[in-house]
């Protein structure tokens, strides 16, 4: 039976969520859905938020300090349909007393899988190989063509050893890779998955045949992979980014792909997405995905349900499953 505390809780969603999540949202809450999944700019969000106590948002809507300050007084909680919170000014939220909750844990495996997809897709020239087929260029099998690089036995550096980084480490061990990581702090052995800690990126990078970026986007990680750090990588390294586009400095990565300094890159996220630097599209050695890190039915349902669980906890006074501010 629907809890009267949630049924009377007015909440808007900025996006149309997966069917099962939408059904729960509409059944359990006083829901203001976005039926046609229209792109909502700040004025549209403010208009819809009138009288709402909760907002389910996603990384496609930046909640900057200005928007947060202008939210109707009725709004008490922002539940984002994401683990990443870089689209939300958390300081502004705290200053206004706005609670912010996210969706960690439930997307760890899907995003770690996508990271392996990016590493493998880049290392094994997946996009060039598929293009050969689709463009009818597959003449005959050749001992010399489409030669990627092996992952087994290689060294993988993981930048950002949170839940997703740790799940990538577990998978990489299964691939026979030697795993190292850089993180704000060293992890206890039971979380480190046997990976060697490097406090200093300068000691990690020269050892990375493969590099996976799985850190949150913060002022410290903005353009983390820049020209100076790329120069420290071994020639022919392979890079994967499933974190956020701006963790990479595009000019530097594109120059390194053009020169072959970086042999290949698997990228699921881009600065300014869905627009991306068009030079990536001309690079055969870039394996490109449209931010599908968490895009499985199971994961998106779990993310949506977690966002609704956060709202329900607020409505009923229960502990928040995952509060960040
Ligand atoms: C989401 C993500 O798919 O959760 C995150 O932070 O990057 C992805 O899992 C995306 O943000 C849309 O919600």
pLDDT tens-digit readout, 76-119: 999 999 999 999 999 999 999 999 999 999 999 999 999 999 99
Res 1 pLDDT > 80? no
Eight-class DSSP state of 88: B
> Which amino acids bring their CB within 6 angstroms of ligand 1?
58-59, 81-84, 107, 293-294
Q: Is residue 68 part of a domain?
A: yes
**Whether 273 is catalytic:** yes
Task: Specify whether 283 is located in the same domain as 195.
Answer: yes
Residue 2 has pLDDT above 90, yes or no: no
Q: Looking at the structure, do residues 256 and 214 belong to the same domain, yes or no?
A: yes
Do 141 and 248 fall within a single domain?
yes
Q: Report CA torsion sign: 145, 148, 152, 155.
A: positive
**Does a structural domain hold residue 261?**
yes
**pLDDT-derived band of residue 206, with 50, 70 and 90 as boundaries?**
very high
pLDDT digits (tens, 9 = 90+) for 144-182: 999 999 999 999 999 999 999 999 999 999 999 999 999
Confidence of residue 200 (pLDDT cuts 50, 70, 90): very high
Same-domain status, 117 and 241: yes
**Is 321 within a domain?**
no
Question: 242 pLDDT band (50/70/90 cuts)?
Answer: very high
- Split at pLDDT 50, 70, 90, the class of 269 is very high
Tokens of 114: 């996508």
> Are 195 and 304 in a shared domain?
no
* 244 part of the active site: yes
Contact 241, 247 (CB under 8 A): yes
**Which residue puts its alpha carbon closest to atom 6 of ligand 1?**
84
Q: Is the pTM of this model over 0.85?
A: yes
The mean pLDDT of the chain is: 98
pLDDT band, very low/low/confident/very high, at 184 (cuts 50, 70, 90) = very high
Count of domains forming the chain: 2
User: 228 and 100, same structural domain?
Assistant: no
Token pair for residue 179?
A: 């795993």
Q: Are residues 247 and 306 in the same domain?
A: no
Ligand 1 atom closest to Cα of residue 81: 13
CB atoms within 10 A of CB 278: 7
Q: Which helix (H) or strand (E) holds 242?
A: none
CA 195, 198, 199, 204 torsion: positive or negative? negative
- 282: DSSP letter: G
CATH number, domain at 22?
3.40.50.720
Asked whether 55 and 81 are in contact (CB, 8 A), the reply is: no
- Chain-centroid distance, C-alpha 256: 23
Whether 87 and 113 share a structural domain: no
- pLDDT computed for residue 246 by the predictor: 98
Asked if the structure places residue 174 within a domain, the reply is: yes
pLDDT at position 115 is: 99
How far is residue 169's CA from residue 172's CA, in Å, rounded to a whole number? 5
pLDDT of 281 reads 98
Which range of residues forms the domain containing residue 305? Answer: 4-106+296-316
Ligand 1: centre distance to CA 112 (Å): 13
- What residues form DSSP beta bridges with 217? none
- Residue 325 domain-assigned (yes or no): no
C-alpha distances (whole Å) from 270 to each of 86, 120, 212 are 14, 19, 15
219 assigned to some structural domain:
yes
SS3 of residue 130 by DSSP: helix
**Ligand 1: which of 293, 298, 304, 310 to mutate, most ligand atoms within 8 Å of CB?**
293
| Pair 42, 156 in one domain | no
Q: What is the pLDDT of residues 12-47, one digit of tens each?
A: 999 999 999 999 999 999 999 999 999 999 999 999
Cis peptide before 274 (omega within 30 of 0): yes
Q: How many whole angstroms separate alpha carbon 48 and alpha carbon 25?
A: 16
Q: Examine the domain organization and report whether 147 and 73 are in the same domain.
A: no
For residues 145 and 244, membership in a common domain is answered with yes
Structure tokens at 250: 């595009």
- Pair 125, 223 in one domain: yes
Contact predicate 108/163, CB 8 Å: yes
322: in domain: no
- Residues 307 and 88 sit within 8 Å (Cβ to Cβ): no
pLDDT at 279: 98
| Structural domain contains residue 212 | yes
Cβ atoms of residues 266 and 244 within 8 Å: no
* Closest C-alpha residue for ligand 1 atom 10: 82
């Amino acid at each position: 039976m629907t809890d009267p505390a949630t049924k009377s809780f007015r909440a808007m969603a900025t996006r149309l969520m997966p069917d099962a999540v939408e059904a729960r949202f509409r059944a359990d809450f006083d829901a203001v859905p976005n039926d046609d999944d229209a792109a909502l700019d700040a004025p549209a969000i403010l208009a819809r938020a009138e009288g709402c106590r909760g907002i389910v948002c996603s990384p496609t809507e930046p909640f900057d300090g200005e928007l947060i300050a202008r939210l109707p007084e009725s709004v008490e909680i922002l539940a984002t349909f994401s683990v990443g919170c870089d689209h939300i000014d958390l300081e502004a939220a705290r200053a206004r007393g706005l609670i912010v909750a996210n969706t960690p844990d439930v997307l760890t495996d899907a995003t770690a899988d996508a990271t392996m997809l990016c590493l493998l897709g880049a290392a094994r020239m997946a996009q060039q190989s598929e293009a050969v087929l689709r463009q009818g260029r597959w003449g005959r099998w050749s001992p010399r063509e489409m030669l990627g690089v092996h992952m087994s036995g290689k060294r993988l550096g993981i930048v950002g050893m949170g839940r997703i980084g740790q799940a990538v480490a577990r998978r990489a061990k299964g691939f026979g890779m030697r795993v190292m990581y850089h993180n704000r702090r060293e992890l206890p052995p039971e979380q480190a998955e046997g990976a060697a800690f490097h406090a200093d990126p300068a000691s990690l990078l020269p050892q990375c045949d493969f590099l996976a970026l799985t850190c949150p986007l913060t002022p410290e990680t903005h353009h983390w992979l820049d020209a100076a750090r790329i120069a420290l990588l071994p020639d022919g390294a392979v890079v994967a980014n499933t974190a956020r586009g701006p963790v990479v400095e595009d000019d530097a990565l594109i120059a390194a792909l053009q020169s072959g300094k970086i042999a290949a890159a698997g990228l699921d996220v881009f600065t300014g997405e869905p627009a991306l630097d068009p030079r990536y599209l001309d690079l055969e050695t870039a394996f490109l995905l449209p931010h599908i890190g968490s895009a499985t039915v199971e994961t998106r349902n779990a993310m949506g349900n977690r966002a609704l669980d956060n709202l329900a906890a607020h409505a009923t006074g229960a502990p928040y499953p995952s509060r960040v501010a």
